[in-house]
Structure 1
Amino acid sequence: MADKLPDPVKKCVAILKVADSDTSKFAGLFMVTKLVKGSDCSSASKKAIFEAIGFNFLKKLLLSSDVPIDCPPLVYKSVALSILSCFCSDPEIATHPDMLANIPVFVDVIEKAEESDDDDLLMVISESYECLKHIACYSEGQKAFLKSGVTSKLLGFYIEQSFQCDEALNIFVVLVSHLGPVAWGNDPKIFNSILNKISLDFKSDQSEKKFELCTILYTLLYNCPRDFIDSSTDEEIWPSSTYKGITDILTSKIGKAQRDPALKLVSTIVELLGVEWCLADEERPKQFFLLLVQLCSVEVRMQLEDRSLKQVIGNAELITSCFTVMELAIAFVASGGKIDLEEKEKQTMYTGLKGAFNATTTLLTKISKEHPDGGSGPERIFTCALVRVLAAWLAQETTANRNAVIALLPFILKVANETFRASRARRLASKTGSAELDGEDSNPWGHVDVLRLLLPALCHLAVDDKARNILFQEEEEEVLFECISYHWSIVNYKRPIVPKSERKKVRAPDMGPDAKTLAEMADSRVAMISACNIFMNLTVLEPKRVESSPLFDRLMKFVMDALPEVKSTPENLVLQGHLAVFGLLLMKQLASKARKNDFSICRYVQSVIRFLWDAYVIDEGRETNVSTGSLVVSMTYKERWIELSELWFLGMQTMSGLLSQLPWVSEFAVETGWVEGTAIMLRKVRVGALPHNVRAAYEDFLCQLLAANKEVAEVLKSNDILTTCRTHRLMELGKRLFGE
């Protein structure tokens, strides 16, 4: 390489290498400055000169404050930085190990210069930032920034509004856009301080800078650690300041260049803070929310209608941002969020969303024909986003464009199933530290489990005859069994096994699952509930398939084993109810395969009895043996009764029907004390305090018990059931016990 260097460069390198003192080497630097800035100085020339000087010498100049008499105090720093800023424009120099290892030196130079009142130091600060900017442009440089731990100092410069602090912010924006949340470190105070400062400028600035700040805020928030956003965030000023800034933009006459960054920013904030953030205007809380949904719906139609996958992929980031807003808005309204929409407002919102989802369905139909595998790379990720947002819509609205959706269902299932399996593999690899995780980008569908999001929609689709046939044709029940089994492995948390070598050591007490694991358990609990709902619909509507399918045999075994293992905690109660009722439906359908001496079935039936028994209690005014109380839902159940009510009535109905097929189940009702407990409870209920539907459920249950087991009559009579029948007009039960 040395032979190819220009003669002036060779001469300069030779002088620097033979320099026997710092003074002579320093003299050679003046020749370097002229050469480096010349047009004929190639990358190879710069590298040769840089190595001839040696970074240690330049570092010495940067840090030295001992200068010769009559020399400016900054002469050493100025010369060194002048050379380095020129060197850093070359990728090979900017990523040189010596340069990367000394990132803290540049930051220290800025920090010390800021502490001085000497205005001559401003040039030193500018050139230091110039070096850092060049280094931050490259992957090696970004990693070196992170390793050196100086990002918090860069943010500090901006918070303190130091000279050229915008440069510090711009460098950090580059770093966080490439490194993601890890660039923020572990201090949420710095995060909030930065956001507060930028958002105030964003709120008040009415120049073109407002749109630059919008893009910066989007990058910072999109890449922020999610655990930085908590209840204390409401006490910060940045949520309200960004709200004001964004509403200023989106309610003004603007073009695409200004609107797109604002939609991306608002999407990120809504995802972080929830839809409630949109309702910040106390006087007109609905206005911005409705405007935002309308803007996103229109944008989606404009981007997707009459276009192919390749045509829309260029704006994927904007489109998926709109999808996020739409998805969260649908869930918010459906869950009865804090917004009171008038009928006209609901219709306007529905019409806008319907148009957007028609466009989504049409594009997905094209993709299913032109790219049956979902495309490759970014195309697969975008296809996944299309299916995800459509799943959110179908969870609430299954009548609109139904034929097109049903025709598209095989493709939707294919995408959802592949993302589920890829996501499962990715999670398991991350838990075990497997090398498979290194190749995660080979399957971009592994980043989100679309099947998990599609489950609520499948609950509705399973009721439709055509859609249900497609589910069986695609053997979706097999995948759903994999799905419920996988989520059960998360819900049924077990402490990690301690290696033998560690068992004798003193260990800290087990604190149970961490916050991340608890969140995963909560999500998987909901997924299992949705899967149970789908299977219950299939079991009731396709009895012949259920009877002949080996899968449903395995499914019954799974439910029988799982229910007794569910921990009796309030958060598990709804899941217990679903497993209990689903198992009863399976037992009724597969009664010929249920065996009295099967231990798992015995444990399961006992768990079902516990669930049904604990739902109602007596609310007594005083301790008494006469009927003075009211029958009320127990406190444990009351908080979740909206979700549990139908389950309890269906469970009682199914249990009653099951007794005629499997009379031996009645033995458990007697042995556990449920029959006696029910008789005592009903006896204590005062006249008129037994709801009609509850009375019917208990009467039918007791009548079926009488038919299945002769011992039941004696138990009931010994608890004064005659008085109970007269009090609550249980006519049918009275006839069966005492005749006409």
Structure 2
Amino acid sequence: MEDLAGVKSSQPPGGEERGVGEGGGPERGSGGGLTAAQLAVLERCLHGLKHAKNDSHTLAALLLISRLCPASQLDQPTLRRLFQAVGLNLPARLLMTAVRGSESSMLPPDELLSLGTALLAALSTDPDMASHPQLLSTIPLLLGILANGPANQQNQDRGGQSPEKNAAEASKPDPVGETSDKAARTPSEASSRLDEAMAADCYQVLTAVCGLPRGPDQLLSRAAVPALCQAVEQNQTLSRGRGLALLGLLLSGKTRTKAWRRHSAELLALLVRLSKDFSQSSDQNRFSMCSQLVQFLPPAGMAAQSEDLKGVVRRVWVALRPMMQAKLTPKQMGPVLVLSACLLDLHGWELVGPPKFCCLLVNRACVEVRMGLEEPPGNDLSPELQQTLTGCYRIMEASIEQACLQTSPQISVSGLSLQQSRQVLGVLEEAFSALMFYLQQVDPSRYGDPFVFATVRSLCSWLAEETSCLREEVTKLLPFLISYSRKHLQDDGSEQNLHDWISEERDGWTGSEALRYLLPALCHLSAEEGPRKVLLGLDAPALLVDFLSRCWTSMKGKGWATMARDPSMETACSALLNFTVTEPERVRKDSCFRTLEALLSEALPVLVNKPRLLVLAANYCTLGLMIGRLKSSPSGSVEAAQRRFFSAALRFLRGALDSGSGPGPVKVSPGWEENWDEAAELWRLSLQALGGCVRVQPSVCGLIREEGWLRHTLSMLDQGSALPDRHTEEVLEEALSAVAQQCPVCRQEIRDVMQSSDRGALSRMRNLKKSLGLK
């Protein structure tokens, strides 16, 4: 590369050769094409590029093209030919020569870097070139230049480390409280080491890579986050503009959680600095900074215990309060409310401020929702308004639980008084009325719209806590809610828009999400006659059975070792139990309940041996027995599937209580003790239902003896001096009485045990004694 100096001197860095790179990227389609003379020159230059004998010839051809054939006049195919002729070898070698040093080079390192980055910037405008492995291999070098400046990058590389390691090491922040050469550089010194043109070229390449389908992951794996954080910390050239923008892209998509998991320390340090800048800015500048700050907040639940993050949230709330209390335009209010929603996601109401401000925040959100949604049907909401309203929804959701703590005259957890809680509930009711008005207008063609999903989710959070308000409106909306949930469940997560949107918030879209949010409301509404009749007309039981079937299939597919409890399945069982108790004729005739019985008979024998899923097993056991009590057995025998279910149910119920090895009170078994508060009522309902099953299907008594339930229960009651509570004693006595009435053999066994002993809890069951004719 001896003669590079002469070529370079004819065109200064950052001049016309940058016409095909950042700071002059190709304005595709904006030119009117080339003349015949220009085309002739271009063809000769392209031929020269392909057959260049050295780098000087290549650079000379490039300079001639840039002067005679402006990039704005080159169409995409011509640019592609130009890029292919140049290739990536030259800019990569220029960078390597600059950072490693070469005595044979006649150009100083800064000029080599300038040339290399300019060529890479030009090549990166082509997506194929931007995704080429050779270009991707230069990313650590570019990051090192941005983080440390070109001179520092060269010095580090000459220390014997590879460029990749240099970039990774250079991007690591200095330990808090320590001083290094990097940290000692003043912003002006750092800035003088990196001219704006070179910085722009580096950011052009990185931004082009980030725009590729796998680009964010490519940057993340090459330590882009810590390097860019350091560039901002050192106040390097363009770092506050281009650097923060690029970081924002990495932290706004699917790589957000991964980036925070890998580089939480660097990102948290950057967030602390940004929050201080925010709090020290003028009010007008703060409005423009709100959206930027949102990008740099961690995902909810991550770093939640960090004192630094807590300080950030407190500092930002202090700055937001006067903004919220001022008279704002809709354009100003939107970013403020979205940022407020994100802060609530991180730390709840703890740091928001005094109760009066909390009320103001909720009121502002509710007013925005009413103004945005109570428009005439058919009016399209702009993306900006949708984003604002989605933020308002999250503020409303966060306030629901706190406002519903108004049953006590004491001050609630959030500091709201009883009167303030009632005021908040009032404005929430008006806002959720607007949500229902909006959803009534939603056409099925928009079921895949993420904003519609956000609206449904918010409404369901209200219905989970409050179903007595707006009862008529809620009932009228049930057809939409059931139709919406059924469509998503049956499509099984195929809605790409929703999948992409939800994946940015958490693990992904499965198709059952809409119904999961609706389930608590269905549990409440199915217990009330009016809404229940509407739900039956909408075939809601079949929807719930379909949901349980899909969940069970998914559960089996994932394997039991890592299986976690799913509260949504338990809630679905509770809603189905309401239908079973209140609508016996529907249960007898509706085919979906036969499907449910088949599912229960398959699942319960498996769940009996899964202690972590004990509450779900209790739900399945109760639901199956409650259905069983409604179906008589004309043949006098139990079908195979029913037999399998009853056998599992009896084994399950038998394991709840334990009398121990000697006399003393009967206790809850160790396996049930942790979940007894939730499972106790289900266990009692199961025993009551078991008695009903025995009455309509006497053949079940044979299973009661075969599975050892009767022998175990009699022994436990005979040895145990007392049961955990009176209710437990009553349901056991009721079940034993039903068995004794329907099975002569069982009757005699019970009679024999009661006659042989006058100790234990069994001897105190007077109604059972009376039914057996004992004194």
Q: Same fold (TM over 0.5)?
A: yes
Partners of 2:464 and 2:418 in 1: how far apart? 21
TM-score under structure 1 length normalisation: 0.78
Instruction: Identify which of 534, 540, 544 aligns with 1:476.
Output: 540
Instruction: Identify which of 411, 418, 428 aligns with 2:487.
Output: 418
Is 288-297 or 350-359 further displaced after alignment? 288-297
Corresponding position of 1:197: 270
User: Helix, strand or coil for the counterpart of 2:446?
Assistant: coil
Contact 2:366 2:392 in 1 (8 A): yes
**C-alpha displacement of 1:123:** 6.3
**C-alpha displacement of 1:124:** 4.4
**Cα 1:285–1:207, aligned 2, differ >3 Å: closer, same or farther?**
closer
Corresponding position of 2:695: 660
Q: Is 1:452 paired with 2:516?
A: yes
**C-alpha displacement of 1:139:** 7.4
**C-alpha displacement of 1:486:** 0.6
Corresponding position of 1:344: 419
**What are the within-5 Å matches in structure 2 for residues 34-433 of structure 1?**
55-65=88-98, 66=102, 74-79=110-115, 81=117, 87=122, 100-101=135-136, 103-104=138-139, 106-110=142-146, 112-115=150-153, 122=192, 124=194, 126-135=196-205, 141-142=211-212, 143-144=214-215, 146-147=217-218, 152-159=223-230, 161-162=233-234, 163-164=236-237, 165-167=239-241, 169-173=243-247, 175-176=249-250, 180-182=253-255, 188-203=261-276, 205-207=279-281, 210-211=286-287, 214-221=290-297, 233-235=304-306, 237-250=308-321, 252=323, 253-254=325-326, 255=328, 256-268=330-342, 270-271=344-345, 273=346, 277-280=348-351, 292-308=361-377, 310-314=379-383, 315-330=385-400, 342-367=417-442, 371=443, 373-375=444-446, 380-423=449-492
User: Helix, strand or coil for the counterpart of 1:723?
Assistant: coil
**C-alpha displacement of 1:351:** 1.6
Deviation sequence 1:130-180 (CA, Å, 0-9, x none): 1243345557843456436665235324236232333563353354267x2
In structure 2, what residue type is equivalent to 1:678? T
Corresponding position of 2:529: 465
User: Helix, strand or coil for the counterpart of 2:223?
Assistant: helix
**Cα 1:43–1:416, aligned 2, differ >3 Å: closer, same or farther?**
closer
Corresponding position of 1:434: none
TM-score under structure 2 length normalisation: 0.75
**Cα 1:531–1:20, aligned 2, differ >3 Å: closer, same or farther?**
closer
Partners of 1:447 and 1:658 in 2: how far apart? 37
Larger RCO: 1 or 2 (CA < 8 Å, sep 6+): 2
Contact 2:494 2:511 in 1 (8 A): no
Partners of 1:120 and 1:647 in 2: how far apart? 69
Is 259-268 or 660-669 further displaced after alignment? 259-268
Instruction: Identify which of 571, 579, 583 aligns with 2:624.
Output: 583
Contact 2:45 2:61 in 1 (8 A): yes
In structure 2, what residue type is equivalent to 1:710? P
**C-alpha displacement of 1:358:** 0.5
**Cα 1:12–1:490, aligned 2, differ >3 Å: closer, same or farther?**
closer
Partners of 2:191 and 2:36 in 1: how far apart? 35
**What are the within-5 Å matches in structure 2 for residues 4-15 of structure 1?**
4-5=34-35, 7=37, 11=41, 14=44
Instruction: Identify which of 673, 679, 693 aligns with 2:708.
Output: 673
**Cα 1:36–1:244, aligned 2, differ >3 Å: closer, same or farther?**
farther
In structure 1, what residue type is equivalent to 2:267? I
Contact 1:5 1:45 in 2 (8 A): no
Partners of 1:197 and 1:67 in 2: how far apart? 40
**Cα 1:262–1:195, aligned 2, differ >3 Å: closer, same or farther?**
farther
**C-alpha displacement of 1:467:** 2.5
Partners of 2:669 and 2:358 in 1: how far apart? 38
Contact 2:429 2:469 in 1 (8 A): yes
**C-alpha displacement of 1:266:** 4.3
Measured on the aligned residues, the alpha-carbon RMSD in Å equals 4.3
**C-alpha displacement of 1:613:** 3.0
Contact 2:294 2:342 in 1 (8 A): yes
Contact 2:130 2:205 in 1 (8 A): yes
Corresponding position of 1:636: 671
Contact 1:158 1:166 in 2 (8 A): no
Corresponding position of 1:498: none
Contact 2:516 2:568 in 1 (8 A): yes
Corresponding position of 1:691: 725
**C-alpha displacement of 1:583:** 0.9
**C-alpha displacement of 1:450:** 0.7
- Structure 2: give runs of 5+ residues left out of the alignment: 1-30, 156-184, 407-411, 500-507
Contact 1:196 1:238 in 2 (8 A): no
In structure 1, what residue type is equivalent to 2:596? L
Deviation sequence 1:653-711 (CA, Å, 0-9, x none): 22223322222223333333333433333344547x76332332222222222211223
Partners of 2:644 and 2:447 in 1: how far apart? 49
- Structure 1: give runs of 5+ residues left out of the alignment: 431-443, 496-511
Contact 1:100 1:141 in 2 (8 A): no
Identity %: 22
Partners of 1:53 and 1:615 in 2: how far apart? 77
